[in-house]
Amino acid sequence: MQSQEWRLFRYAGFRIRFPDVAQNDLMSESFNHSNMSLTVMKFGGTSVGDAERIRQAATIVKAHAQAGNDVIVVVSALSQVTDLILNVLNAARLGDRRVMEEGLLQLASRHEQVLSDLSLGEELNQVLSDVRATLQRLREFCSALLLLRVATRQVMDVALPLGEQISARIFEACLNQLEAKGKFVDSARVLVTDDKFGDASPDMESTRRRCGEVLLPLLREGQIPVVMGYSGATHAGQVTTLGRGGSDYSATIIGAAMDADEVWIWTDVDGVLTADPRICSDAITLPEITFAEAIELSYYGAKVIHRKAIRPTMEQGIPVWIKNSFKPELQGTKIVKSLPPSNRPVKAVTAVTQASLVTLTTRWDVHFAEVFGRLFLSLGHENIDILFSTQSSSEDSLGLVLREQDTEHVVRSIQKLFRTELKHGVLNPVEVHKDVAVIAVLGSDMKGTCGILGRLFSAVARNDVSVIAVAQGASELNICFAVTAARANEVIKAVHQEFLSPGTEKMRPRPKIH
């Protein structure tokens, strides 16, 4: 590259940063699509769950493209396929050949059924042979695991995105069948990440460049790129995944990298609701929420958006829509930069149901802040999310509420970090309280509204549930508290009933403190 300088260009209604070297090319006549807007559309597992759903999704894409928009599609694997791949890999790793073979058979028959239901015509044989080749790779991979009996996160990341590889190939064929010019794109070519296998984060600068190199020419040719969600690759080309549910994140990363006008996340519910509708049947769709609220919601377990997906688009102010692919006529939820104050202090309730509370106490009169400062620094370096923490100076104790999957690792880190302190009794042995759920009550208008905490904990107490730990963020965007996991759903329902159920006068504004 002649120059490291980047310039801003306006193309197709969005801005892309190109290196100087490409400038002449990009400014040529053929490059000028200036009135079109770019939408990144992501379809989740249920939205591509079977042939009918895939055809519906492809029809949505085609209609939007025909209305004069550029579209980039990001797809998840067919519903439950990633779970199935995971089971197959685990079975192989543990030497269970029978379960492995059953899983491989299930994967083959599921995809072949979809292909036969799609009646792809001429392209069928080619797609079928591509799908079979991908499944053959998975089989060979499993055979290697059967011998090795071990699989690191890096090894798992090679095989886990195979579901997306198949679904993106099928989606491409379905678009072509509708004469909409789909083009399969391997995510490893466009999405550059760090090497945190299993939970990778993007290198935005490199991703931006790759998207410009790979996706832009396709758009210029009037094609619709169909990118595999969930995965990417490091600079060295090692495949990575972005964490479970990561296709949302893929879509917002690509949306930000391409300076898209909007990102639309198609799923199986009407948008972001006041609670998980599987728990609260009377949950209602929120027409709009802010990026900050969406981040909190997803961080605290609302599965509808991946916990890291909002950040890339938030930084550029690109609106994200959550829409129901089963009811495309509905508007859905728009996630925006800011909203005027509403008369609803509480907007939603959500939960992380697999968490634990790790408690550390100092035995002697030690410098508490220094000890725990070292701990936070070390957890930060290891990229561990702390759901919330509580500190009490008088007892010299610190409570960390963590995702269950991180707990063992954190306990080991504490034991390593404070080996000497634990050995000499400066710190008491680490206590772990498992099977905890974190309930998060969210809403930017809770700030300064009186009486929320009182109403909240009265509602919880009426259900005879005891609260294990509590935290209210200084931003007052959320109130988090931990309860026994087994009671989580009751608590969510009680909180929803208190603040959010439709038709209750409780939704009326509360007096504000001035």
275's contact among ligand ASP, ligand ADP, Mg ion, none, with CB below 5 to 8 A by partner kind, is ligand ADP
Q: 17: burial class by Cβ within 10 Å (0-12, 13-18, 19+)?
A: middle
Does residue 244 touch ligand ASP according to CB under 6 A?
A: yes
DSSP calls for 203-251: -HHHHHHHHHHHHHHHHHTT-EEEEESSEEE-TT--EEE--TTTHHHHH
229's contact among ligand ASP, Mg ion, ligand ADP, none, with CB below 5 to 8 A by partner kind, is ligand ASP
Q: Which residues contact 328 (CB under 8 A, 6 or more apart)?
A: 56, 60, 266
Nearest approach in angstroms of CB 338 to ligand ADP is 20
Mark the segment that binds ligand ASP (CB under 6 A) among 63-71, 134-142, 244-252, 308-316: 244-252
77's contact among ligand ADP, ligand ASP, Mg ion, none, with CB below 5 to 8 A by partner kind, is ligand ASP
Classify strands 14-19 and 333-336 as parallel, antiparallel or unpaired: unpaired
Which one, 223 or 333, has the nearer CB to ligand ADP? Answer: 333
Which one, 44 or 103, has the nearer CB to ligand ADP? Answer: 44
Nearest approach in angstroms of CB 189 to ligand ASP is 18
Q: Which residues contact 208 (CB under 8 A, 6 or more apart)?
A: 16, 17, 257, 258
**Residue whose pair of structure tokens reads 């590259």 in the numeric block:** 1
DSSP calls for 330-359: S--EEEES-----S-S--EEEEEEEEEEEE
Nearest approach in angstroms of CB 414 to ligand ASP is 29
Query: From the list 247, 313, 350, 356, which residue makes contact with ligand ASP (rule: CB under 6 A)?
Result: 247
Which one, 77 or 135, has the nearer CB to ligand ADP? Answer: 77
Nearest approach in angstroms of CB 284 to ligand ASP is 25
13's contact among ligand ASP, ligand ADP, Mg ion, none, with CB below 5 to 8 A by partner kind, is none
Q: What is the CA radius of gyration of the chain?
A: 25
Q: Please report the beta strands in 12-85, taking only residues with DSSP state E, as ranges in sequence order.
A: 14-19, 37-43, 69-75
Nearest approach in angstroms of CB 246 to Mg ion is 8
Q: Please report the beta strands in 382-489, taking only residues with DSSP state E, as ranges in sequence order.
A: 386-392, 397-403, 431-442, 469-472, 478-484
82's contact among Mg ion, ligand ASP, ligand ADP, none, with CB below 5 to 8 A by partner kind, is ligand ASP
- Report the distance separating Cα 428 and Cα 430, nearest Å: 6
Which one, 45 or 212, has the nearer CB to ligand ASP? Answer: 45
**Strand, helix or coil for residue 1:** coil
**Strand, helix or coil for residue 285:** strand
Does residue 229 touch ligand ASP according to CB under 6 A?
A: yes
Task: Please report how the helices 97-118 and 51-66 are oriented relative to each other, as an axis angle in degrees rounded to 10.
Answer: 50
345's contact among Mg ion, ligand ASP, ligand ADP, none, with CB below 5 to 8 A by partner kind, is none
Query: From the list 47, 56, 82, 313, which residue makes contact with ligand ASP (rule: CB under 6 A)?
Result: 82
**Strand, helix or coil for residue 171:** helix
Which one, 104 or 269, has the nearer CB to ligand ADP? Answer: 269
Q: 129: burial class by Cβ within 10 Å (0-12, 13-18, 19+)?
A: exposed
46's contact among Mg ion, ligand ADP, ligand ASP, none, with CB below 5 to 8 A by partner kind, is ligand ADP
Which one, 224 or 442, has the nearer CB to ligand ADP? Answer: 442
Nearest approach in angstroms of CB 138 to ligand ASP is 14
Nearest approach in angstroms of CB 78 to ligand ADP is 10
Which one, 85 or 192, has the nearer CB to ligand ASP? Answer: 85
Contacting residues toward ligand ADP, per CB under 6 A:
44-47, 76, 245, 267-269, 272-273, 275-278, 302-304, 348, 350
- Report the distance separating Cα 510 and Cα 359, nearest Å: 36
Which one, 234 or 350, has the nearer CB to Mg ion? Answer: 350
- Report the distance separating Cα 223 and Cα 218, nearest Å: 5
Does residue 69 touch ligand ASP according to CB under 6 A?
A: no
Which one, 302 or 438, has the nearer CB to ligand ADP? Answer: 302
Q: Which residues within the stretch 28-67 sit at the binding site for ligand ASP (CB under 6 A)?
A: 44-45
Does residue 255 touch ligand ASP according to CB under 6 A?
A: no
Does residue 163 touch ligand ASP according to CB under 6 A?
A: yes
Which one, 242 or 452, has the nearer CB to Mg ion? Answer: 242
Which one, 272 or 452, has the nearer CB to ligand ASP? Answer: 272
For the beta carbon of residue 299, count every other beta carbon within 10 angstroms: 19
Tokens linked to 271: 């948008």
- Report the distance separating Cα 279 and Cα 348, nearest Å: 13
Query: From the list 58, 77, 314, 438, which residue makes contact with ligand ASP (rule: CB under 6 A)?
Result: 77
Classify strands 239-241 and 231-233 as parallel, antiparallel or unpaired: antiparallel
Q: Which residues contact 507 (CB under 8 A, 6 or more apart)?
A: 343, 344, 499, 500
Q: Site residues (CB under 6 A) for ligand ASP? A: 44-45, 76-77, 82, 163, 229-230, 244-247
